[in-house]
Chains A and B, each alone.
Chain A
């Protein structure tokens, strides 16, 4: 969330019981729902990340009781492995790189479209917005498979690229099963998640501000950097959050489009839970990923807010 703390409450020190009631009425239901259906289950797995895998998969009991009393069978080994084996650090870094690149590409690709929709005549906006999301109501995997066809060696795109490369004396290259294909797939599945929040933000901007800036002699570029973009920052943060975090944990796209080198931390977590049936290690990897995602998002939101303040 863009963690936008509103204006500090004027009467917060002397909060009436009614105000307190209102506060709980607003925050109580989501808090309760997420506590039950997200926090508790996740804490169970968090505990599991200090355990050993069961012989047939799952989890070996964390504690047991016998004549000699209670025994705990816990270990820090899962986390130690993550930090000491270069393998996993490399994977986190690689995923971070992909997620950042995806976010930047999405921002660049989504901004003009969101702006055009926000500036369109009111009665077309619904339609234009709907057009963004419609492709996403067909199935995810099917769309990724469509990219396989588009990027495949028989397709026009690959032939075109290779013809151009050939002119410069480079050998044929494969678009499919490459880091390029992974990035493109990630941008493709994430783009609407940048467009929609950006639009929701840009739509409420007052065009009068821009006109005022232009009347004062600002260039189009200056208008953008000084007026439009700072105002859009909450939308950018929202969109970046919705793109960056899921991209960080992606596994289907690298799996299908990445070929022999397409592997991200999401694939490893998938493998731990399925192929290795190693819940404790999978849980430890997942929890590190969650902290990484939350940390990076918090950092970005903080930096963006400071940036905006510096302008203002």
Chain B
């Protein structure tokens, strides 16, 4: 590519990063601001973090959010990858539509209908019901990304493996799956992100005493946003980052395919 083209490409990429990070900088910055309203800077303080540490409910909600997002994205990875493989391999008409449908159904309809459904079946509301609900809308994210990865995959690779005498299972395990890993991880990350941020569906499927961070933050914002909300968001982000990095340290194989 011409040098100028390359420079333009990098500039555009940098601009996209900047666009993603400007609001984040504000969020983090104001978690250290002494002003209660977070509209202007009023000196540095760690007070909001101290306050947060004494807010057992808030920490518990953050913990719930993490657990739910992990469970839902793992389940979505399994179901979503299966769905993508099935759709790729066979001429299915119903499954692709069913996978896409939760994405295109308004959150609030899903929330209300799941609550009605759980109540009808006498399923107790709590972490478990939220996880089930989240899994149902997370599957689409994994399936879509994995599908797009599968779409252009070179079928000759699998055939080569088969020609070399590998069983279909072995061929899948040794050739297809490793090639899919970047798609699976990208989809899983999207699913995790959707789950940890979900408000509407969680609002309806949560039981008494089971709160998640978005539920708490939503009602807090209704009154006034104190920087404690910024602090807990910052903390959650840091925690997720640590989690992802330690997974990649503990299981470097898992992330290898990405790079």
A and B touch in the complex (CB under 8 A): yes
Interface residues of A (CB under 8 A from B): 1-9, 12, 22-23, 26-27, 29-31, 33-35, 37-42, 44-45, 109-110, 112-113, 115-117, 122-126, 129-143, 145-147, 149-150, 152, 154, 188, 191-193, 195-197, 199-201, 203-204, 220, 223, 231, 234-235, 237-239, 241-242, 245-246, 248-249, 252, 266, 269-270, 273-274, 279, 282-283, 286-287, 289-290, 293-294, 297
Q: Which of A129, A150, A238 has the most CB of B within 10 A?
A: A238
CA distance A279 to B116 in the complex (A): 12
Cα distance, A4 to B110, chains bound together (Å): 27
20 A–B contact pairs at CB < 8 A? A1-B100, A3-B147, A8-B91, A22-B168, A27-B95, A31-B94, A33-B136, A38-B102, A45-B113, A135-B237, A138-B28, A141-B199, A142-B229, A191-B19, A192-B193, A196-B189, A197-B186, A242-B103, A290-B104, A293-B104
Please tell me if B223 contacts chain A, counting CB pairs below 8 Å: no
- Picked from B12, B82, B234, the residue with its CB within 8 Å of the CB of A26 is B82
Kindly provide the distance from the CB of B101 to the nearest chain A CB, expressed in whole angstroms: 7
Q: Are A23 and B86 neighbours in the complex by a CB distance under 8 Å?
A: yes
Q: Let me know if A237 and B136 touch, CB within 8 A.
A: no
A34 touches B153 (CB 8 A): no
Per-residue A-contact encoding for B216-259, CB less than 8 Å = 1, 0 else: 01100100010001101110110011001000100000010011
User: Do B132 and A42 touch across chains, with their CB atoms under 8 A apart?
Assistant: no
Chain A residues near B90 (CB-CB < 8 A): 9, 23, 26-27
User: Please, which residue of chain A has its CB at the minimum distance from the CB of B145?
Assistant: A197
Name the contact of A38 in the complex, choosing from B5, B91, B101, B217 (C-beta under 8 A). B101
B179 proximity list for chain A (CB < 8 A):
204
Task: Determine if B89 and A26 form an interchain contact, defined as CB atoms under 8 angstroms apart.
Answer: yes
Residue-wise, chain B 71-94 has the 8 Å CB interface mask toward A (1 for contact) of: 000000011101111111111101
Known: A136-B197, A200-B183. A143 touches B27 (CB 8 A): yes
B98 at the interface (CB under 8 A from A): yes
Question: Of B109, B114, B248, which is in contact with the most chain A CB atoms at under 10 Å from its CB?
Answer: B109
Tell me which residues across on chain A come within 8 A of B236, comparing CB atoms.
137-139
Cα–Cα, bound, A120→B94 (Å): 38
Q: In the complex, how many angstroms separate the beta carbon of A96 from the nearest chain B beta carbon?
A: 13
Indicate if the CB atoms of B259 and A133 lie closer than 8 Å: no
B108 and A270 within 8 A (CB):
yes
Instruction: Give every chain A residue within 8 A of B92 (Cβ-Cβ).
Output: 27
**Given A1-B84, A245-B104, 14 more pairs with CB closer than 8 A:** A1-B99, A1-B100, A9-B90, A27-B83, A35-B98, A42-B109, A115-B13, A117-B13, A124-B259, A137-B241, A141-B214, A142-B233, A201-B148, A204-B182
A204 vs B109: C-alpha distance when bound (angstroms) = 38
Query: Given the complex of chains A and B, what is the CA–CA distance between A91 and B87 in angstroms?
Result: 34
Q: How far is the CB of A1 from chain B (nearest CB, A)?
A: 5
Looking at B5, B103, B136, the one whose CB has the most chain A CB atoms below 10 A away is B103
Q: Contact check: which of B24, B113, B190, B244 meets A130 at CB < 8 Å?
A: B244
B109 adjacent to A201 (CB under 8 Å): no
Residues of A within 8 A of B44 (CB): none
Q: Which A residues are CB-close (under 8 A) to B9?
A: 112, 115-116
Partner of A112, one of B12, B80, B114: B12
Contact of B193 among A125, A137, A238, A293 (CB under 8 A): A137
Secondary structure of the B contact surface, majority rule: helix
Give residues 1-15 of B contacting A (CB, 8 Å).
1-2, 5, 9-10, 12-13, 15
A-B pairs, 4 with minimum CB distance:
A293-B104, A238-B148, A112-B12, A27-B86
Bound complex: CA of A154 vs CA of B13, how far in Å? 29
Instruction: Please determine whether A41 and B114 come into contact, CB atoms closer than 8 angstroms.
Output: yes
B95 pairs with A246, CB closer than 8 A? no
A134 touches B10 (CB 8 A): no
Whether A126 pairs with B248 at a CB distance below 8 angstroms is yes
Residues B19 and A37 in contact, CB atoms below 8 Å apart: no
User: Is B97 an interface position by the 8 A CB rule?
Assistant: yes
Q: Is A139 within 8 A of B233, CB to CB?
A: yes
| A294-B101 Cα distance, complex, nearest whole Å | 7
Q: Is B99 a contact partner of A112 (Cβ separation < 8 A)?
A: no
B68 → chain A closest CB, angstroms: 14
Q: Are A147 and B23 in contact (CB under 8 A)?
A: yes
Q: A143 touching B24 by the CB < 8 A rule?
A: yes
Given A1-B96, A135-B21, A140 contacting B214 (CB threshold 8 A): yes
Contact B27 A138 (CB under 8 A): yes
Which residues 158-197 of B have a CB within 8 angstroms of A?
168, 179, 182-183, 186-187, 189-190, 193, 196-197
Choose from B83, B94, B95, B109 the contact partner of A282 (Cβ within 8 Å).
Answer: B109
Q: Which residues from chain A contact B103 at a C-beta distance below 8 Å?
A: 241-242, 245-246, 293
CA A237 – CA B166 in complex, angstroms? Answer: 33
Distance A56 CA – B148 CA, assembled complex (angstroms):
46
Question: When the two chains form the complex, which single residue of A4, A12, A37, A44 contacts B150, counting CB atoms closer than 8 Å?
Answer: A4
- In the complex the two chains form, is A134's CB within 8 Å of B241's CB? yes
Nearest chain-A residue to B196 (Cβ)?
A: A137
